[in-house]
Amino acid sequence: MEILVSVYDFLIGIMLPFLIVLTLVVFVHEMGHYLVGRWCGIRVMTFSIGFGPELVGFNDTHGTRWRLSAIPLGGYVKFFGDENAASAPDFAQVDAMDQAELSRSFPGANVWKRAATVAAGPIANFLLAIMVFAVMFSIYGKPVADPVVALVQPDSAAEQAGLLPGDIITAIDGNPMVEFEDVRRYVTPRPEVEMRLTVDRDGRAVEVAITPRRSEITDQFGNKMEVGLIGVGTDETVGNFRRLELNPAESLVEGVKSSWYIVARTVGYIGNILVGREKPDQLGGPIKVAQISGQVATLGVGALLQLAAVLSVSIGFLNLLPVPVLDGGHLVFYAIEIIRGKPVGERVQEIAFKVGMSLVLMLMVFATWNDVSPWFG
């Protein structure tokens, strides 16, 4: 009986939220490709949620096969003239096409149409995230606290730098700090990076040099992560805690800001890995996403939608990386084609797609190892 309960909890508590989040993000991404491709006059052969064997499906009046596949870790849109789900051209099929067929194929479309179709997937992801964040802000408002120091932790970087309770942090490295959240967002991704704080102390501007300490924190679900901390906090008395009511336009602006922060944080994390400032073991794969989905689902639908928005931005950004088989790799090929006045050679594309697929598979294996390695620790 306990085994049945455990299986039920796993399916309902973890897998169901994970599939809801991932399916939403993947569907929106692929729908971006599908809609723009159709608008550009390109024939769509398959729209699939998931990979592998088809579970259920149907053909629409345009001849597109809509399918739900067995492996729910992504999806794809296959256009007329594509060899596979990664939209590698089927050169043999293209060579055998007549002019009418070529005009409806993806490889035969104008390069700008192909670029627009490819870019539409990541753009759709960004739009989804912006809209989810905007709706959340319009419903719940925006919690705000002034960047005023209420407490300085003993033996912290802030104490050693001479920060005092009552200091108002107005800027860090010349970047204005409007609210306390601005301080947190600037400091946490920069452990062991010296920065200069400008504080208002009794009406006087004071410059303070400080280096956030690398610290391990644990969230409410027990997940551990390394961040930069300086050891200051605020409270309701001096921080003037409040919730701002936002109109639709203001909510949309905050949605854009939240999405941009995720992109900037992702770029910063990758950069920190390259220079050795952060460890790659914080990179999670599908198992980690499933675990987090189950945890966040316990907080309610709104929290799960916000997780979907975060994941949507991440997938949109990662798809724009210039790696063959990803959307960004295709866009690089199209940029070269525009400059050269002709497509990249068949052999070069074939090799590039194989290299790109190898890189993606290695990244997936590495991320999955990060997910499961704690089980053997």
Mean pLDDT over residues 328-342, rounded? 92
Please, what is the average pLDDT of the chain?
88
Specify the pLDDT at position 8: 59
CB 13 within 8 Å of CB 285: no
pLDDT higher than threshold 70 for residue 9: no
pLDDT tens profile 228-267: 899 999 988 888 899 999 999 999 999 999 999 999 888 8
Structure-model confidence comparison of residues 11 and 166, the more confident one: 166
The CA dihedral of 145, 151, 153, 154, to the nearest 10 degrees, is 170
pLDDT higher than threshold 90 for residue 68: yes
Specify the pLDDT at position 3: 62
**Placement of tokens 């724009």 in the chain:** 320
For domain 142-244, the CATH class is mainly beta
Structure-model confidence comparison of residues 50 and 4, the more confident one: 50
Catalytic residues: 30
pLDDT higher than threshold 90 for residue 11: no
Specify the pLDDT at position 261: 92
pLDDT higher than threshold 80 for residue 211: yes
pLDDT higher than threshold 80 for residue 221: no
* Top-confidence range, 95-104, 134-143, 298-307: 134-143
Specify the pLDDT at position 286: 78
DSSP 281: G
Mean pLDDT over residues 350-369, rounded? 83
Mean pLDDT over residues 17-44, rounded? 94
Distance CA 325, CA 359 (A): 10
Reported confidence tier of residue 6, pLDDT bands at 50, 70, 90: low
Here the tokens at position 79 are 């256009």
Specify the pLDDT at position 117: 96
pLDDT higher than threshold 80 for residue 338: yes
Q: What percent of the chain has pLDDT over 90?
A: 56
Specify the pLDDT at position 376: 66
pLDDT higher than threshold 60 for residue 99: yes
CB 193 within 8 Å of CB 277: yes
pLDDT higher than threshold 80 for residue 72: yes
Specify the pLDDT at position 347: 87
Q: Which of 233-242, 250-259, 280-289, 300-309 shows the lowest per-residue confidence on average (mean pLDDT)? A: 280-289
pLDDT higher than threshold 80 for residue 59: yes
pLDDT higher than threshold 80 for residue 87: no
Identify the bridge partners of residue 57 per DSSP, sorted by sequence position.
67
Identify the bridge partners of residue 86 per DSSP, sorted by sequence position.
none
Reported confidence tier of residue 28, pLDDT bands at 50, 70, 90: very high
Distance CA 113, CA 91 (A): 19
Specify the pLDDT at position 10: 64
pLDDT higher than threshold 70 for residue 362: yes
* Closest C-alpha to 254, from 375, 377, 115, 134: 134
Q: Which of 243-247, 329-333, 343-347 shows the lowest per-residue confidence on average (mean pLDDT)? A: 343-347
pLDDT higher than threshold 90 for residue 352: no
pLDDT higher than threshold 80 for residue 222: no
Q: What percent of the chain has pLDDT over 70?
A: 95
Specify the pLDDT at position 377: 56
Reported confidence tier of residue 33, pLDDT bands at 50, 70, 90: very high
Here the tokens at position 307 are 């997780």
Reported confidence tier of residue 2, pLDDT bands at 50, 70, 90: low
Specify the pLDDT at position 4: 55
Enumerate residues 6+ apart whose C-beta is below 8 A from 237.
Answer: 150
Here the tokens at position 57 are 């499906």
